[in-house]
Structure 1
Amino acid sequence: MRHIYRCPLRWSDMDAYGHVNNAVFIRYLEEARINFLFRPDKEFKQGSVVARHEIDYKRQLVHRHHPVDIELWITEIKAASFTIAYEVKDDDLVYVRASTVVVPFDFETQRPRRITAEEREFLQQYTDAADEEAVAA
């Protein structure tokens, strides 16, 4: 299963050429990640921090007044980190492919922490393996 976030484009996102500035895509990924992780039904209550971003720019996104879709899913879950993959796209047109390594973090102790069983169960719903299980059922 993939989480879809409809990301609004803002006038300030545009560069001098009328395209969304490449640096702005980091913020778009952050907005999608927050929308995914911090929902009323499931959330990483103790917090998380980003350990790594990797972005492949595929084509320019021209500024417009309607949102762009950001699909995200989980590609790897470890004991104390997980990786989110993203596609920023319109239907079959992909502007950016990216990934982020996220580390659960305890802000009270200022230390990374392990992923809880509840968090792992939530994340596993968004892996490719979960999609394969749904097709097989």
Structure 2
Amino acid sequence: MTKKADVVPSPAEASRNLVSQAVETALTSLEDSKAENIISIDIQGKSPLADHMIIASGRSHRHVAAVADHLIRALKEAGLGNAKVEGLSGADWVLIDTGDIVVHVFRPEVREFYNIEKMWQAPDLEDETVH
């Protein structure tokens, strides 16, 4: 009797699985930290920066810093490497970049001012049909 060989995922499939795991870890961490207005945006094919973007708000400087800190630890514990972090000292807008996903944690008024989700959720002009 021959033993059935284990199926090895293709590199593209393995990458998608890693992105899915990172997104799931990030969303769980943000929810556990009581982040507000969490938006998850698939930007694969729209930007070479990452495959996924997550935007969330904290209620204050202290809450933004705590949410970001919790997320950084969760990503590291999940084996997703050391993320690049910017803005943690000011905690108005913290950017956490894992390579596959980018997470923005804002204070509400800073998020409203920059409104980056509007830019990333805009429909692609190529996808629109002209009548």
For the superposition of Structure 1 and Structure 2, which TM-score range results when normalised by the shorter chain? 0.3 to 0.5
Give the TM-score of the pair, scaled to structure 2: 0.35
TM-score w.r.t. structure 1 length?
Answer: 0.33
Greater fraction of residues in strand: 1
Larger radius of gyration: 2
Looking at secondary structure, tell me which structure has more helix per residue.
2
